[in-house]
Amino acid sequence: MKHPIELKINGDIYSLAVDPWRTLNEVLREDLHLTGTKLGCGSGDCGACTVLVDGRSVSSCLTLALEVQGKEIQTVEGLAPSGDTLHPIQEAFVEKGAIQCGFCTSGMEMSAAYLLSQNSSPTEQEIREGLSGHLCRCTGYIQIVDAISDAAQKMKQS
C-alpha cells in the first residue's frame, strides 16, 4: 500500500505516494529524477549514494523513503548556490582534478560538505577519516583530499 508523504529536498517540498519498500535513493532517482545521487554497492560500503538528512550524511540506498518524511534532505543538486555558480567544494574538485569518471563525486562532495559543517579546518587525516565510507576507482584519492583541504581554506576566507 502506498503511503502519502511530503519530502523536503533542497528546500523544495514534494508530495508523493510511496510504497514502503522503496528507498530514498530510488525515490530521488526514479520518481524525482534527481540523478546526481548515485547507486553503487547497495550495502553502505561505497558512499556513492550519500545525501544529507537533517544535516547528517547517510546512505540513501539504506534509508527507506518513508523514514525521512518531514526531514530536511540535501542532495548534490542542492549544493551549488545557483544554476551558474558552483559550491566551493565543487569548484575545488574541478580545479584539483578530483573528478575522473564522476560516479563517486556527488557522494564525496556530500561527505565533504558534512565534514566541513562539523570541522571547518580538518587535517589531512581527518579528511581521510571523513571519506572512509567512500570508494573511488579512478583518481587515487589524493586529488580528492587536496580539493577538500583547498575548499576548507576558501570557505574560511569567504
Partner 1 sequence: MTLPKFEYFAPESLDEAQQLLLDQGVGAHLLAGGTDLLVKMNHGLLKPASVIALKHIKELEAITYDPKEGLKIGATALLADVAAHADIRKHYPAIAAGAHETANVQIRNMGTVAGNLCNAAPSADNAPTLLAMDAEVEIKSATGERRLPLDQFFKGPGQNALASGEILTAIHVPAPGSGEGVSYQHISARGKVDISAVCVGVMVHMAENGCDDVRIFLGAVAPVPMRAAKAEALVRGKQLTEETIEAAGIAAMEESQPITDVRSSADYRKKMVAVLTRRALAEARDRALKR
Q: What is the dihedral of CA 113, 57, 75, 62, to 10 degrees?
A: 160
Q: Name the residue among 123, 118, 117 with its Cα closest to residue 145.
A: 123
Q: Which of 42, 72, 86, 141 binds partner 1 (CB under 8 A)?
A: 42
**Do 148 and 116 touch, CB atoms closer than 8 A?**
yes
Shortest Å distance, C-beta 59 to partner 1? 5
Q: Is 47 one of the binding residues for partner 1 (CB under 8 A)? A: yes
Interface mask toward partner 1 for 49-88; x: CB under 8 A: -x-----xxxx-xxxx-xx---------------------
Shortest Å distance, C-beta 156 to partner 1? 21
d(CA 14, CA 41) in angstroms, rounded, equals: 27
Give phi and psi for 117, each to the nearest 5.
-75, -25
Q: Which of 37, 106, 111, 149 binds partner 1 (CB under 8 A)?
A: 111
Where does residue 39 fall: left (phi above 0), alpha (psi -120 to 50 degrees), or beta otherwise? beta
Q: Which of 7, 9, 23, 146 binds partner 1 (CB under 8 A)?
A: 23
Residues near partner 1 (CB under 8 A): 1, 3, 19-23, 26, 39, 42-45, 47, 50, 56-59, 61-64, 66-67, 111, 114-115, 129-130, 132-133
